[in-house]
Chain A
Amino acid sequence: MRLLSRSLVCQQAVQLMNDYVDGTLSRRQRRRLEAHLADCDACTAYLEQLRVTIRASAVVSVDDIDPAVLESLVELFERYQEDT
């Protein structure tokens, strides 16, 4: 509990960042992290890298489906249409 009354060091701040970006930190932890970030460019950079990682995950390219798989599924669709 003693740690809670002290300011965070970077190594602790990094451990909180995932819950911070997901909005699941307690209010108290969020305040402690934000106080740390206000004074720490390196942790701010880490947080931004994490945000880039998460947001880039959602940028989806659909160009890389195996054409043979797509073709076989479309054939399956056409057979299904003929049967119904």
Chain B
Amino acid sequence: MISPDNLTFVDDAELLVRLQGGDRDAFTQLVTRYQDPLVRLARYYVASEASAQDVAQETWIAVLRGLERFEGRSSFKTWLFHIAANRARTKGVREHRSIPVDLGSDQSLLAGRFNQGGMWSDPPVPFSDSVDDALDNAPIVALVHQSIARLPDVARAVVTLRDVQGLSTGEVASLLTLSEANVRVILHRARSRIRSEVEAQMRGGEA
């Protein structure tokens, strides 16, 4: 049994150097770090979870084959995601997957929370005393990630690449073949939905 060793954070560049030297542990750490976002990215293009897992596996094989040629002009993460997006896109076309990008309106998330004048009638309360306190609060972080996992494929891919992985709006747009304006709209709605779900859970927890 192989268990992920995440006790100390080693950056991608160092892991890459070690991987180029044939270090198995470096490969394990990179897989542990990126398998889930790779599958989520692939899932945006392909029709099933199994196909997305296949794309992720093909991506790792392509990484191993391309290691010698990787010159570091982009970050490892960018290189990895571009390999996955290209493979998933090809596979997605073969599977004739259509990509719905309409998440619908997010107005309904706040339905009933404002009065007719547009002022809060049911105002939000902070999740905690400060943002830092909230980030130290494991249940809040878990709720956020559970909510991301429940998002539709398109929104989940956008949030995973933008907010979880920290890519720029432009990079996300390029990987998902969307306009930057479209990425911003999807991100806005997805974040609103996550916030709303976490708030509902927190309120429920207090009741």
Contact = CB atoms under 8 A, between A and B. Distances in A.
Interface in B121-153: 123-128, 131, 134-135, 140-141, 144-145, 148
A19 B3 CA distance: 40
B114 A73 contact: no
Given A19-B184, A53-B195, A58-B164, A63 B6 contact: yes
Per DSSP, chain B at the interface is helix
B188 A18 contact: yes
Nearest to B199: A49
B119 A73 contact: no
Interface stretch (B20-28, B71-79, B80-88): B20-28
B184 A55 contact: no
Contacts of B28: 70, 74
A45 B202 CA distance: 14
B207 interface: no
A26 interface: no
B110 A57 contact: no
Interface of B: 1-4, 6, 22, 24, 27-28, 31-33, 35-36, 53, 57, 60-61, 64, 110, 114, 117-120, 123-128, 131, 134-135, 140-141, 144-145, 148, 159, 163-164, 166, 169, 184, 187-188, 191-192, 194-195, 198-199
Contacts of A41: 123
Contacts, number: 134
B126 A56 contact: no
B4 A65 contact: yes
B144 A65 contact: no
A62 B124 contact: no
B145 A61 contact: yes
Contacts of B159: 57
Nearest to A73: B31
B144 A57 contact: yes
B131 A48 contact: yes
